[in-house]
Amino acid sequence: EDQVTQSPEALRLQEGESSSLNCSYTVSGLRGLFWYRQDPGKGPEFLFTLYSAGEEKEKERLKATLTKKESFLHITAPKPEDSATYLCAVNGVGGFKTIFGAGTRLFVKA
Partner 1 sequence: NAGVMQNPRHLVRRRGQEARLRCSPMKGHSHVYWYRQLPEEGLKFMVYLQKENIIDESGMPKERFSAEFPKEGPSILRIQQVVRGDSAAYFCASSPTGDAGELFFGEGSRLTVL
Q: Which residues bind partner 1 (CB under 8 A)?
A: 4, 31-32, 34, 36, 41-46, 49, 87, 89, 91, 95-103
Would you say 76 or 98 has its CB closer to partner 1? 98
Q: Residue 8, preceding bond cis, omega within 30 degrees?
A: yes
> In the complex, what is the shortest distance from the CB of residue 10 to partner 1, in angstroms, rounded to a whole number?
10
Q: How far is the CB of 94 from partner 1 (least distance, A)?
A: 11
The DSSP-derived string for 16-40 is: T--EEEEEEEE-SSEEEEEEEEE-T
- Comparing CB distances to partner 1, the nearer of 71 and 91 is 91
